[in-house]
């Protein structure tokens, strides 16, 4: 949306009819902000509205303050009364806000009451934090339930409807079931690493590597082509943090997401193995085809997509 030009230029909400004089360049209020405003009025206080959505009172206060800044006027009187009192302007906005919300409901665009997400451990933590922060700022009234799982568990949670969205990695040759829709959200490089122990030094490095157990995450990332002749069976773990702990303590070798071990490699706690090639794990956001994504879930996926080019 282009910013409003200065002067007596008006902007209108795309769904309703709230109009303001354009001395401000703030974006138009969102439906989430209007719902928060109406909730404060209906519940009788900022604290009661916060309890209803399971958030801190400061979150509600911030949302209302931001809405007032965007509209250019106060919605509530700022006195010492326990119950927030609407200003004359606030009463006008309340009537318009209820109309807008009713229109949105009739169009079937109501935000989900809550969002359940399962994330694969291979997804870089900075991407997770960025997506969740952006979601919280855009949908402050929609609670998010996040689970960190192995890839196979993510797919199962999506299929059983335990979560709405699953973000997981697929190696070349792996596919998802026909019951889910998959949207590409980038990739992550997997690097074979081990601690710089005595087993990986000397002239017979490749032979020494074969004596190390490969640590495998939930039947994933196993190097079956280069390691078939090894007498050591793979050790199977359920999460990446356990793998990382054992690897840095000099137990075995394994494929790890590069962002997760970059610091350890730089500090010399882990080394990349030359006898095994790197791999690329394609990341997908998946959901059931018979359950289309709502506005909140769609935003979360869009945020992950936007990270690719940022």
- The predicted-structure confidence for 64-108, as pLDDT tens digits, reads as follows 999 999 898 999 987 766 678 899 998 999 988 888 877 766 555
Per-residue pLDDT tens digits for 28-42: 777 778 888 988 988
Compute how many other C-beta atoms are within 10 angstroms of the C-beta atom of residue 88.
Answer: 9
Q: How far apart are CA 193 and CA 259, in angstroms?
A: 13
Provide mean pLDDT across the span 111-132: 90
Instruction: Read off the pLDDT band of 131 (50, 70, 90).
Output: very high
Residue 11 has pLDDT above 50, yes or no: no
For the chain, domains (ranges, CATH) are: 10-106 (1.10.10.10), 112-310 (3.40.190.290)
At residue 266, the pLDDT reads 94
Residue 132 reports pLDDT greater than 80? yes
Q: Is pTM, for the whole model, over 0.85?
A: no
| Nearest to 174, CA basis, from 190, 155, 198 | 155
State how far the Cα of 259 lies from the Cα of 281, in Å rounded to an integer: 12
Q: What are the CA-CA distances from residue 103 to residues 39, 61, 107, 184, 291 (Å)?
A: 17, 25, 6, 33, 23
pLDDT digits (tens, 9 = 90+) for 189-214: 999 998 987 455 544 455 566 677 88
What are 169's two structure tokens? Answer: 């990695």
- 188 near 281, Cβ under 8 Å? yes
- Gap between the Cα atoms of 247 and 256, Å rounded: 10
pLDDT reported for residue 19: 31
Decide if 254 contacts 245 (C-beta within 8 A): no
Residue 222: predicted pLDDT: 45
The pLDDT tens digits for 13-30 are: 333 223 333 333 456 777
**CA 13 – CA 31 distance, rounded (Å):** 9
Compute the distance between CA of residue 285 and CA of residue 292 in angstroms, rounded to an integer: 13
């Amino acid at each position: 949306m282009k910013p409003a030009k200065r002067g007596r230029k008006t902007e209108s909400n795309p769904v309703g009819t709230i109009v303001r004089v354009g001395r401000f360049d703030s974006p138009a209020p969102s439906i989430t902000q209007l719902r928060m405003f109406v909730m404060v009025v209906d519940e009788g206080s900022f604290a009661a509205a916060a309890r209803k959505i399971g958030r801190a009172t400061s979150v509600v206060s911030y949302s209302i303050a931001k809405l007032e800044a965007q509209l250019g006027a106060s919605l509530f009187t700022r006195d010492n009364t326990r119950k927030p009192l609407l200003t004359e302007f606030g009463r006008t906005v309340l009537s318009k806000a209820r109309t807008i919300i009713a229109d949105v409901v009739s169009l079937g665009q109501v935000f989900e009451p809550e969002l359940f997400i399962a994330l694969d451990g291979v997804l870089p933590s900075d991407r997770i934090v960025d997506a969740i922060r952006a979601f919280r700022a855009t949908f402050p009234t929609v609670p998010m339930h996040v689970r960190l799982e192995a890839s196979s568990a993510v797919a199962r949670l999506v299929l059983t409807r335990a979560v709405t969205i699953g973000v997981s990695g697929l190696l070349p040759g792996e596919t998802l079931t026909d019951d889910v829709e998959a949207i590409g959200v980038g990739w992550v490089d997997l690097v074979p690493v081990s601690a710089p122990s005595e087993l990986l030094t000397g002239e017979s490095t490749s032979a020494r590597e074969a004596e190390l157990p490969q640590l495998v995450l939930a039947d994933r990332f196993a190097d079956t082509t280069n390691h078939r002749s090894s007498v050591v069976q793979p050790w199977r773990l359920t999460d990446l943090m356990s793998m990382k702990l054992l690897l840095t303590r000099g137990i075995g070798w394994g494929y790890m997401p590069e962002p997760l071990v970059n610091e350890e490699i730089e500090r010399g706690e882990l080394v990349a193995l030359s006898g095994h090639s790197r791999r690329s794990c394609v990341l997908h956001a998946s959901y059931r085809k018979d359950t289309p994504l709502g506005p909140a879930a769609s935003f979360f996926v869009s945020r992950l997509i936007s990270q690719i080019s940022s």
